[in-house]
Amino acid sequence: MGITFYEKERIFKLDTPNTTYLIGIVGKLGFFGHIYYGKKLNGIEGAWELLRVDEDDPSLWDEEAKYRVLFLNRFPTEYSSHGVGDYRESSIRVRTKQGHNAVLLTYHSHRIIEGKPPLEGLPATFGQEGKSDVTTLIITCVDKVLNLKAELYYSVFADTDAIARSVRITNENSEAIYLEKVMSGCLDMENKDFEILSMHGSWFRERYLERKKLGHGKYSVSTTRGGNCHQEHPFMALLAQGANQTMGEVYGFNFVYSGNFLIQAELDQMDSVRVVVGIHPEDFCWKLEPGEAFQAPEMIMTYSSQGLDAMTHSFHKLYKKHIIRSPYRDKKRPILINSWEAAYFDYDEKKLLDIARESAKLGIEMLVVDDGWFGNRYDDNRALGDWYVNEEKLKGGLKYLADEVNKLGMKLGIWMEPEMISPDSDLYRAHPDWAIAIPGRKPSRHRNQYVLDISRKEVRDHIMDMICKVLSSANISYVKWDMNRPLSDLGSAALPPDRQGELYHRFILGLYEMQQRLLDEFPDLLLENCSSGGGRFDPGMLYFSPQIWCSDNTDAIDRLIIQEGTALVYPLSAIGAHVSVCPNHVTGRTTPFDTRGVVALAGTFGYELDVTKLTEEEKEQIKIQTAYYHKLNDLVREGDYYRLASYWQNGTHDCFQVCSPDRRKSLVFYVQVKNPVSFPYQLSRQIRLRGLNEDALYVVKELDLTKEDESDDQQGGKALNGGVLMNGGLNFDWMWGDFQAKLFYLEQV
């Protein structure tokens, strides 16, 4: 594993545990192209033939070659050019002082280093401290006419089949150059009758999976909303014909960025496929002064020859070990109860303490005070930006509340929305120019709020000073950082006219700086990111917070589809999942309490309800659920995830499995959404498991989340062969009614 340069062949070979990526340099002019990405190769003999170039082609040696345009338009370039003859999607576009935009980058030099340099101001993957588990190739290429240098970074990891890529552009000219497009990576390859797998949605139905045939032309997932995006997700996979969960070739792409993005697959007239990943070029223009550099965010790509499960494992391993940095990464998170669905804005310290006292009796470990604790915030029409405690509403402030909650053995957390400002706020009245707006145009409101211009240092400093003062005033253990509207009316009072195109990206850089400052000043803080639910669930946010609120839709049945899409890429330990009251506040659906518990246990686990209004039976079930969380969460957090059945696809039931890394323990989650029409004639179901030791014996126990003593009325407990469970299946009875759940625990004997 690692990176090798074959000098004679002029080939770079990048090896992960199970894959190989090949890049070749051809001709005197220094064109460098993609040769191969797939199953691991033991050698490179014959690899040049895959590049499909004639070494005697004059286009490789002569800048005035007769068919130069034809060559550029078919060459599988590693970082595509613009305006010189390659008419497929470009990776970079510039504008010079003279108004020209052509770019042609050719190979200049390279270096291979142990470890991985950080990306200035940006979240990025990293090697584990004290381990030589990552190697990086840096290819330097130049446009000699523009005096523009591009450094292409490729990092491979010893423990996962993922490659991290990014690009750094430096202006070595004597004049400024405007970057109008900078992709983080490009991949050219032959078509394998690909299908596209992507995620789409809206508020309340984030990350619904969609699979469709890749036809000629361009297919993209993207956003220009500035960061709050439920509609598209920065992920795409290409699936070769016949690929499924366990079989077939899959190429997966994910973008480590929280702002505007573009992931695009293009099938051209020669049946070649080009994928580009990067910042969306719409409304993007970055002025690069002489000597300055621009760092593009990181993209992640992975290849699997064993279907979607192997792709998922690569992403999960990478993010659990190489992107999440929180001290909570490898720990159980406290079981929390959030005040939002319990009380909305209608609470005071008495109401909150009533909830806390009852929660403490049930095994809940943290009270989170959601929206409404600050300024004049009695509804969502005011006070965003006024980050000081409303002591008329909370007598004694957060200090009193935290002290009283701590006496119960619980922790305290709070909600905030630092990137936003209400027109009806002290902050807006004092600094109206701090809101993003275009001069002479009244900015559009959404949720009756504007967006703060956090590209400005004085704005960031003011907001963070207020927030840090609040967090220092009491023993606050958790912050939920929300962002409830997209960006619009793009204008900054602090940027000159020729830099207004930098605002989108500078906004995201400002966000990252604010969250880093928060963690620097409060290193033990548990940060959970959120954006109108799950609108900002991306690897960039995971770099700062080990968990992200998955969706404002807490309905357990709807969550099956939402959490399936999320878990395709992101580890279960990152998925904010809670039990809420029924009928559900938005869907109106009533689901059994134990089913809600089973679904939420496949995430960070917590509650969204008023425990003081529950029945005694429901309170007893909370005690059982919280006890099971402590028994099972290490396995959920650390285990490998397998998708066994998909409610999204079959419309009747959902099933997934988690196996410990040593394969000795496993959990199987099953939800029967619809009672089968064949009932009662078909009395059982068989689900083929995965990830077990084939020759081992496993004791299978059905866990009953309605009874404290699981030994009573327990189905299972027999020792079953791992091979039988995987090839034959786990057999269990159908359940009476809709929305029923089962949870099985397996342990090797």
Task: State the DSSP string of 544-606.
Answer: T-SEEE--S---HHHHHHHHHHHHTTS-GGGEE--EE-SS-TTT-----HHHHHHHHHTSS-E
Domain assignment present for 329: no
Q: How far apart are CA 575 and CA 566, in angstroms?
A: 8
The answer to whether position 328 is within a domain reads no
Same domain, 382 and 303: no
Residue 621 sits at the vertex; the CA angle it makes with 617 and 627, to the nearest 5 degrees, is 150
Structural domain ending residue among the three candidates 322, 348, 369: 322
Dihedrals phi, psi of 111, to nearest 5 degrees: -150, 150
Burial class of residue 213 in the structure, from the number of CB atoms within 10 Å of its CB (0-12 exposed, 13-18 middle, 19+ buried): exposed
Residue of 133, 309, 370, 552 marked active site: 552
Secondary-structure breakdown of the chain: helix, strand, coil percentages, each rounded to the nearest 5: 25, 35, 45
Q: What is the mean pLDDT of residues 24-32?
A: 94
- Kindly compute the dihedral angle of the four CA atoms of residues 79, 83, 87, 91, in this order, to the nearest 10 degrees: 30
Contacts of 46 (CB under 8 A, 6+ apart): none
pLDDT tens sequence across 232-282: 999 999 999 999 999 999 999 999 999 999 999 999 999 999 999 999 999
For residue 52, the enclosing domain spans: 2-322
pLDDT, one tens digit per residue, over 432-478 is 999 999 999 999 999 999 999 999 999 999 999 999 999 999 999 99
Q: Are residues 706 and 667 located together in one domain of the fold?
A: yes
Q: Do residues 742 and 685 both lie within one domain?
A: yes
Q: Is the pLDDT reported for residue 89 higher than 50?
A: yes
Cα 669–Cα 670–Cα 675 angle in degrees, nearest 5: 165
Task: Check pLDDT > 50 for residue 713.
Answer: no
For residues 50 and 154, membership in a common domain is answered with yes
Is the residue at 330 inside a domain?
no
Closest by Cα among 242, 281, 246 to 261? 281
In a domain, 378, yes or no: yes
Q: Does the annotation mark 348 as catalytic?
A: no
The answer on 214 and 285 residing in a single domain is yes
525 close to 519: Cβ distance less than 8 angstroms = yes
Please state whether the peptide bond connecting residue 486 to the residue before it is cis, i.e. omega within 30 degrees of 0.
no
**Average pLDDT value for residue range 479-501:** 97
End position of a domain, from candidates 637, 652, 670:
637
Q: Which of 268, 370, 482, 538 is catalytic?
A: 482
- End-of-domain residue from the set 604, 637, 670: 637
Q: Are 286 and 505 in contact (CB under 8 A)?
A: yes
From CA 656, how far away is CA 25, in angstroms rounded?
Answer: 45
pLDDT tops 90 at residue 48 = no
The answer on 313 and 181 residing in a single domain is yes
Number of domains in the chain: 3
pLDDT at 630 over 50: yes
The reply to whether 477 falls in a domain is yes
What CATH number is associated with residue 532?
3.20.20.70
Tens-place pLDDT, residues 329-371? 999 999 999 999 999 999 999 999 999 999 999 999 999 999 9
Q: Is residue 552 among the annotated active site residues?
A: yes
Cα-Cα end-to-end distance for the chain: 35
Q: Tell me, yes or no, whether 428 and 479 share the same domain.
A: yes
- Residue 708, φ and ψ in degrees, nearest 5: -70, -35
Do 221 and 370 share a structural domain?
A: no
Q: How many CB atoms lie within 10 A of CB 272?
A: 17
Q: Residue 402: what pLDDT? A: 98
CATH number of the domain at 50, please: 2.70.98.60
Same domain, yes or no: 188 and 270: yes
- Contact by Cβ (8 Å): 608, 579: yes
DSSP letters for 177-196: EEEEEEEEEEEEEE--S-EE
- Statement to judge: residues 548 and 697 lie in one domain: no
Q: Is residue 255 part of a domain?
A: yes
414, 478 Cβ separation under 8 angstroms: yes
* pLDDT reported for residue 52: 79
Task: Give dist(CA 366, CA 385) in Å, integer.
Answer: 25
The lowest-confidence range among 206-210, 301-305, 716-720 is 716-720
The answer, yes or no, to whether the previous bond of 680 is cis (omega within 30 of 0) is yes
Q: Within 13 Å, how many C-alpha atoms sit on residue 719's CB side?
A: 5
Q: Are residues 359 and 211 in the same domain?
A: no
Beta bridge partners of 306: 248
pTM score above 0.85: yes
- Asked if residue 436 is part of any domain, the answer here is yes
**For residue 160, which amino acid is it?**
T
Residue 327 located in a structural domain: no
> Do 618 and 651 fall within a single domain?
no
Residue 679 has pLDDT above 60, yes or no: no
Residue type, 307: G
DSSP string, 149-170: EEEEEEEEETTSSEEEEEEEEE
Least Cα distance to 599 among 632, 555, 634, 569 occurs for: 555
